[in-house]
Copies of this chain bind each other. A is one copy, B any other.
């Protein structure tokens, strides 16, 4: 039931996106670029970002209308503008069953990377533009635009910190300082947008914001665990790629605290398959994986309690409970 509804909404969002790209005007090579952007954004995905917007909106207004679907065009463009720069800097070559954006061009790497930087920028302003044209009131739009301006800054700050952590050994506190601006910022932006567009009360928006943070933490911890432990068949990417880059997800932060030995492995430029397995074993054996999983459950629990405190309809609350369980428990949702 929960998954079916999610699929229904993501199909509606995808239809809207198709309509949107139909009317984008361009000529010459720029229309080729828009073609790549269209293909990239329309790759099959769970669309958790825009579904959170829709669920929050429905939770307060009781409906899913054209206006909120218009706004979701902006949410999806925003999400993908971030992904393009993220994959480029993280040297990821694939995204959702296709090439990462900087790998799409048939010209050389320099061109592909340049196109990815500028196309990410273009997607971000297309996102602002789509929100501007969603059909909501000027006051609502002003608030949501300001949210998407502020959170874009936060996301980019977290990206710098995430990159910095490859070169440093962050404490748990420093990890949370980074993480509160990453997925937490995305869920804050998408859920608050739904609430603002549905005229939710200020008090309720504050609770919703806190819930979004907890969902974001749960999401990130889960996502990072998948990144380290899921096999290529489960995940669609080679296993242990984050270890190769020396990334520092929470389970590694915990692991580093108890096992200095991992440091040596992560410092190495090239890890053998055997060494990757060794690293995984250390993370598991020292209890860091379990600790991270516990934290994930704690955040999911807090998110559930906070959602319960809001005055959203009980139907929408149920969807959120399902959604949170989904984030916290499934290994399959991330493609």
**Interface residues, chain A, CB within 8 Å of chain B?**
26, 28-30, 33, 85, 88-89, 91, 107, 110-111, 113-115, 117-122, 124-126, 128-129, 132, 138, 142, 145-146, 149-150, 152-153, 156-157, 159-161, 163-164, 166-167, 174, 177
- A164 — which chain B residues lie within 8 A by C-beta? 29, 107, 111
Residue pair B30, A114 in contact (C-beta under 8 Å): no
Q: Which of A121, A125, A157 has the most CB of B within 10 A?
A: A121
- A89 contact from B114, B120, B145, B157, Cβ within 8 A: B114
Residue pair A125, B149 in contact (C-beta under 8 Å): yes
Docked pose: A164 CA to B118 CA in angstroms: 12
- A125 — which chain B residues lie within 8 A by C-beta? 149-150, 152-153, 156
Residue pair B89, A160 in contact (C-beta under 8 Å): no
Q: A125-B150, A149-B125 are in contact. Are A160 and B119 (CB under 8 A)?
A: yes
State how many angstroms separate the Cβ of A63 from the closest Cβ of chain B. Answer: 28
Q: Which residue of B lies closest to A117 (CB)?
A: B85
Residue pair A163, B124 in contact (C-beta under 8 Å): no
A–B Cβ pairs within 8 angstroms, 14 of them: A28-B174, A28-B177, A29-B161, A29-B164, A89-B113, A89-B114, A111-B167, A114-B159, A114-B160, A118-B157, A121-B152, A121-B153, A125-B156, A145-B145
State how many angstroms separate the Cβ of A162 from the closest Cβ of chain B. Answer: 9
- A28 — which chain B residues lie within 8 A by C-beta? 161, 174, 177
- A159 — which chain B residues lie within 8 A by C-beta? 114, 118
Q: Which residue of B lies closest to A139 (CB)?
A: B138
Q: A30-B157, A160-B30, A164-B111 are in contact. Are A85 and B118 (CB under 8 A)?
A: yes
